Chain A
Amino acid sequence: MSNPKKKKEILNQPLEFELAILGGRVIDPESRFDRIADIFVHDGLIKEISSRKTTTRIGAKEVIDAKGKIVVPGLIDMHAHLREPGREDEETIYTGSCSAVAGGFTSVCCMPNTEPPIDNQEAVKFVYVKAKEAKCKIVCVGAVTKGEKGEELTEILDLVQAGVVAISDDGKPVSSSQVMRNALEYCKMFNLPIISHCEDLNLSSGGVMHEGFVSTSLGMNGIPSIAEEVMVARDLKLAEFTGGRVHIAHVSTQGSVDLIREAKKRGIKVTCETTPHHFTLTDESVKTFDTNAKVNPPLRTRKDVEAIKKGLKDGTIDSIATDHAPHSVEEKEVEFDFAPFGMVGLETAFGLVVTELVNKKILTWPQAIAKLTINPSRILNLKGGRIKRDFPADLTIIDPKASWIVNPSQFKSKSKNSPFGGKKLRGRVCYTIVDGKIVFP
């Protein structure tokens, strides 16, 4: 990148860059680049990345002083619920994108369990029309089955042509093993991953939190670990048998991590993600009956949290996704049993990664950034997640030392359902840049 020949070329050009980001620690996990460097952006693309001294004479219309900051590829959230169409009172693609860029995300992958579900080409087109107004890039996931009913496959070719990057019935599992088998086999034609929400609905039936000592003492119906694990095991077997690509969403239990680790060793085409809340919180958070701590899969035990961290460290878990699930105050301020599952996560995810993983030495900076950038990018075959010449200038600049207190009422998201209110986090997003334009702050 600091090839002397190229440098000369630039110096010879009269051109002034649109944006220069000077003096930051640049981390690009794909190229294993990690040093102080300047980045120059023009026409929405990264034009030059080079060590500081040699490029001081280059001019730019806008300059960001990134001294003491970290410059990383724009973060990618491969699992968010933006609620449009259907529940625009909770979130829209636009407000979701505002929330995303405030959290450092430059691409968000929206799940198809909207009302109606994104199960046809027109619905996908609708999302992409709305996405034009968004502050960040929106990529769309289509449904596996029509109406997410788990019965008939959607017109997957149509969906792919309309631009979906994966298919999923997220929120619900594909309960029928036969349907899942067919989906995996069919998707091989498009090298399309299936994002699987693993839950055996018979085992989880009626459950509202993790089944363990806490659910026993609170007298609440539990969702056992095995409700997730038997489906993970099934999907791994199906992926092995069909050769299809399965991506296990929001892994929450020790057993799931173990199963996936084994499967990867055997060469099965599986990837997976976990969420910030699953590596941060345990079922103890439910003790105050806080409905914001009601998520699916549920918050598990300390032992599971440790296993998730181990899975992140050894690479079993490829990516970190928010599972951003906005819900209105009215829906959440009810009896615990009646509250919907889910919490918002776009604006706290990065701080939690820094606070819980990087600062606690679970992951190095490049490892942590990889799970938020290049890894999801590879899984979904995206362009982003890289700092690379002539690639889109999607960048996030962060202050690794800054600390802040989470205040949900100030979230950009339309919904405020976060259990992290009042928590002190390290690592703050300073700038989010999409296609060379500063979209945050």
Chain B
Amino acid sequence: MKLRSKHLLGLEGMTKEEITLILDTAEPFKEILERPIRIVPTLRGVTVVNLFYEPSTRTRISFELAEKRLSAEVISFSATTSSVKKGETLKDTVRNIEAMKIDMVVVRHQCSGVPYFLTQCLDSSIINAGDGAHEHPTQALLDLFTIREKYKKIRGLKVVIVGDIKYSRVARSDIWGFTTMGAKVAVCGPTTLLPYEIEKMGIEVHHDVDEALEGADVVNVLRIQLERQKGGFLPSLREYTNKFGINVDRLKRLNENFTIMHPGPINRGVEITPEVADGPYSVILNQVTNGVAIRMAVLYLLSGGEGKVE
């Protein structure tokens, strides 16, 4: 069993077997994180470049830790697109970086399709750390890992994603990942923030949060951004909180042994109340821990050489 591509661009089109391989591989990596020396020599001599064209704290630190724990050489590069725009093109930038002999590129960019674009310009393995509102595959993989760890299965669970679906790459990757693994997925958000024909992704669509939460096992609460109010999608965050905010009262509709997830960063008191975010059913911090293991697994699986299998 192996991954069909040397890149990880998204979960759309990935098979159940491929996703399972990544999740299975992440388990021994999670154990490494418990060791006194949390580092293995596996990717010694491999150079990984983290290209972050969009500000990110958590994903970037998580990738850097994953790389360093595999003994890879790590270079991180942040740029705001506006400054890049004035100067050289993205293609020139990445080709220059590759000319310095690198093996893998982890890229975050506010434009959908940039990781795919890089596969067209470079020979390196490309890992998508989030592109526009398109995909954020490692986030969805760590969500899947966290849920599988808790329930020992994914098939048959009901997963509800609440919030700004339209602009969320996490939502898209989660939808592909959870549906491929056999979960039942529903999305819920204001009608203005549900993208066109989202139901064609094979999911339920709600705009009544209480209805959506009925009988659910997992609730993934997405961050709601102030910009949506300015963009005219929402009258106010206050109104959003009243209609869609996840509070203790709403949890009553969920199945027993339910789980609350959030990809972070949290707007406490907006999309989720502090009591819920910090409740015993919240796996928000487990998600963060598991993120490192998942990213180690992805880096490991994509770092194969050219030789033959013995």
Contact = CB atoms under 8 A, between A and B. Distances in A.
B169 to A, nearest CB: 6
Interface in B72-111: 85, 89-91, 109-111
Interface string A141-161: 000000000000000000000
Contact of A220 (B85, B91, B109, B134): B134
B117 interface: yes
Interface in A322-348: 330, 333-338
B34 interface: no
A224 B111 CA distance: 19
B114 interface: yes
Given A333-B89, A335-B114, A337-B132, 17 more contacts: A213-B196, A215-B195, A216-B195, A216-B198, A216-B201, A218-B112, A219-B112, A220-B112, A220-B113, A220-B132, A335-B111, A335-B113, A336-B111, A336-B113, A337-B111, A338-B85, A338-B111
Nearest to B169: A219
B134 A330 contact: no
A338 B195 CA distance: 22
A222 interface: yes
A410 interface: no
B200 interface: yes
Contacts, number: 64
A289 B12 CA distance: 15
Contacts of A337: 110-112, 132
Interface of B: 12, 85, 89-91, 109-114, 116-117, 131-135, 167, 169, 172, 195-198, 200-201
A337 B201 CA distance: 23
Nearest to B136: A219
A3 interface: no
5 contacts: A211-B196, A216-B195, A216-B198, A289-B117, A338-B85
Interface string A216-249: 1111101010000000000000000000000000
A13 interface: no
Given A289-B117, A337-B112, A338-B85, A218 B195 contact: no
B109 A335 contact: yes
A40 to B, nearest CB: 53
Contacts of B111: 335-338
- The 8 residue pairs across chains A and B that have the minimum distance between CB atoms: A219-B133, A289-B113, A219-B134, A335-B111, A213-B197, A216-B195, A337-B111, A219-B112
A288 B131 CA distance: 14
B172 A217 contact: yes
A408 interface: no
A216 B109 CA distance: 18
B200 A334 contact: no
A328 B240 CA distance: 45
Contact of A330 (B89, B114, B169, B200): B89
Nearest to B121: A333
